[in-house]
């Protein structure tokens, strides 16, 4: 089985590009000209690094982003996406009712920062997890989106995970596609089962 970690596209740094004027007016400031302060005005808003993480991991729709950050309210997620859009970090595309979000080159330039936060957390904060942070459903979501279907057998394949003694039950969810794994989850207070299958070729 092959796990796939998304990588940022190649881009050219654009240090001479001016930020949108609407961004300067809409974001609270630290009142400093320091570039670290200017970056923090956007990046250090609550939930913002996690929203960026979801976009960098391949989520493109509102529901997908919220699935990866389940504790953020819809209203606040809408606000964060609007802030990122106004800042020129995210591009919002509407095709009828189908709305998608994608990182711009400026957004992908934040990839090393988010990646470094993950490396630091893995090294220094990994042992500080509380029971309320161990969410089986979020783990299954990560496994689902990082599973490369080509790594599964041609025949329909089912993979079962049993997580016993979980601190909280995951929600029953499911995904289905001819090119990506379908995932279903059901749980009790003591176990979670998740399966991923690859449709047989030609169907």
Q: What is the pLDDT of residue 19?
A: 56
Q: What is the pLDDT of residue 128?
A: 66
Which domains does the chain show, CATH number per domain? 21-128 (1.10.10.10), 131-197 (no CATH)
Between CA 31 and CA 35, with CA 33 as vertex, the angle to 5 degrees is: 115
Q: List per-residue pLDDT tens for the chain, 203 residues long.
A: 343 445 565 555 455 555 555 455 567 888 898 999 999 999 999 999 999 999 999 999 999 999 899 999 999 999 999 999 999 999 999 999 999 999 999 999 999 999 999 999 888 887 667 777 777 778 778 877 777 777 666 777 777 777 766 655 443 333 333 345 555 555 444 344 445 454 444 44
Q: What is the pLDDT of residue 138?
A: 81
Structure tokens given for 8:
């940022």
Spatial contact of 170 and 135, defined as CB atoms under 8 Å apart: yes
Sheet holding 192-197, edge to edge: 174-175, 182-187, 192-197
d(CA 18, CA 160): 50
Q: What is the pLDDT of residue 35?
A: 92
């Amino acid at each position: 089985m092959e796990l796939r970690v998304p990588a940022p596209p190649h881009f050219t740094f654009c240090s001479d590009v001016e930020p949108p004027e609407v961004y300067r007016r809409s974001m609270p400031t630290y009142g400093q000209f320091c570039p670290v302060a200017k970056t923090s005005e956007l990046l250090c808003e609550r939930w913002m690094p996690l929203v960026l993480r979801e976009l960098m991991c391949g989520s493109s729709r509102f529901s997908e982003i919220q699935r990866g950050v389940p504790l953020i309210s819809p209203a606040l997620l809408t606000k964060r996406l609007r802030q990122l859009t106004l800042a020129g970090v995210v591009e919002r595309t509407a095709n009828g009712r189908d709305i998608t979000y994608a990182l711009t080159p400026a957004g992908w330039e934040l990839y090393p920062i988010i990646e470094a936060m993950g490396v630091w957390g893995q090294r220094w904060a990994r042992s500080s997890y509380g029971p309320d942070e161990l969410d089986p459903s979020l783990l299954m979501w990560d496994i689902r989106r990082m599973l490369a279907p080509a790594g599964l057998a041609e025949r329909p394949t089912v993979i079962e995970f049993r997580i016993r003694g979980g601190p909280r039950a995951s929600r029953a969810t499911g995904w289905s596609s001819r090119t990506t794994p379908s995932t279903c989850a059901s749980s009790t207070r003591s176990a979670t089962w998740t399966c991923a299958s690859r449709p047989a070729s030609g169907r």
